[in-house]
């Protein structure tokens, strides 16, 4: 059995006076306390599906490492992928500098991925990112990098052909292992509202969903700041959209999903709590 929790769109700023920072600290503190009695190998994997920072600035990345670091220090396995806000101002303008900062601070410093700290290694070489246990394979995608050649990507995102080809090979190679497969990324792999579809759905969403369909068990993403869930659609058992984790609901409570994978017996629940 393995558990994972899904967080997204923290939008951490350089100043801890900002509401998103205050709430991020509260959420991390709650998670650490909730699973304090779990042994290291029993604690849930933490998925961060992008927009960890608000504008991809260096001071924001440094602060994100400080705020999220206690999770790693307390024995949680943390997996992360970038969002459009991690790669530049307002989530609309791509900058190579912000992309590198994600690699250096989130992947290198926070998650201690040695390869990420190599100056000759690029994000294109790091994703798709795999993390495997006896029961589950987690695959992270960078759904921003495919649009890096466009100065204004209008937050739509794109996985891109090189990453799609690698993803296809990974899924074919893992087809008969018996492991459950969880794929996580930032942008929407589909969107039903036509106008919002133009700015929220990945430019290569159809190609990505063709690859994932009937080959993965979970698809997790964020981006729209609205929680939603689909079951048994597109050949995938569970499609989970996270809301903005640092935003309270109408009852002034925080929420995030906790998923338990136990063979074919999978459980998806919403953890709701109030923390002042």
C-alpha to C-alpha distance for 46 and 182, rounded to whole angstroms: 12
pLDDT at position 125 over 60 = yes
Q: Stretch 27-33: mean pLDDT, rounded?
A: 98
pLDDT in tens, 101-120: 999 999 999 999 999 999 99
128-139 confidence digits (pLDDT tens): 999 999 899 999
Instruction: Give the mean model confidence (pLDDT) for residues 173-200.
Output: 82
Confidence of residue 98 (pLDDT cuts 50, 70, 90): very high
Closest alpha carbon to 170 in 179, 21, 47, 1: 179
Strands 180-184 and 136-140: parallel
Please tell me what DSSP assigns to residue 263.
T
Q: Are 200 and 191 in contact (CB under 8 A)?
A: yes
Phi, psi of 240 (to 5 degrees): -120, 120
Q: Is the confidence at residue 265, as pLDDT, over 70? A: yes
Question: Does the predicted TM-score (pTM) go above 0.85?
Answer: yes
Q: Which domains does the chain have, with CATH numbers?
A: 2-273 (3.60.21.10)
Calpha distance 68→29 (Å, rounded): 10
């Amino acid at each position: 059995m393995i558990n994972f929790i899904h967080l997204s769109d923290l939008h951490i700023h350089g100043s801890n006076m900002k509401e998103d920072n205050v709430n991020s600290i509260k959420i991390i503190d709650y998670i650490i306390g909730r699973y304090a009695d779990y042994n290291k190998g029993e604690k849930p994997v933490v998925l961060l599906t992008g927009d960890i920072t608000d504008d991809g600035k260096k001071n924001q990345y440094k602060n994100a490492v400080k705020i999220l670091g206690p999770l790693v220090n307390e024995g949680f396995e943390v997996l992360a992928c970038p969002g459009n806000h991690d790669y530049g101002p307002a989530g609309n303008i791509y900058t190579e500098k912000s992309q590198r900062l994600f690699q250096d601070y989130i992947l290198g410093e926070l998650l201690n991925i040695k390869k990420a700290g190599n100056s000759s290694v690029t994000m294109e070489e790091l994703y798709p990112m795999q993390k495997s246990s006896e029961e589950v394979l987690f695959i992270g995608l960078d759904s921003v990098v495919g649009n890096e050649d466009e100065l204004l990507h209008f937050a739509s995102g794109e996985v891109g052909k090189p990453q799609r080809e690698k993803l296809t090979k990974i899924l074919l190679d893992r087809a008969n292992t018996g492991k459950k497969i969880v794929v996580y990324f930032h942008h929407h792999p589909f969107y039903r509202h036509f106008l919002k579809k133009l700015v929220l759905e990945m430019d290569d969403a159809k190609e990505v969903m063709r690859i994932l369909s009937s080959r993965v068990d979970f698809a997790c993403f964020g981006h729209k700041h609205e929680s939603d869930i689909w079951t048994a659609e597109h050949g995938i058992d569970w499609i989970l959209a996270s809301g903005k984790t640092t935003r309270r609901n109408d009852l002034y409570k925080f929420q995030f999903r906790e998923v338990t994978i136990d063979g074919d017996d999978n459980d998806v629940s919403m953890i709701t709590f109030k923390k002042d």
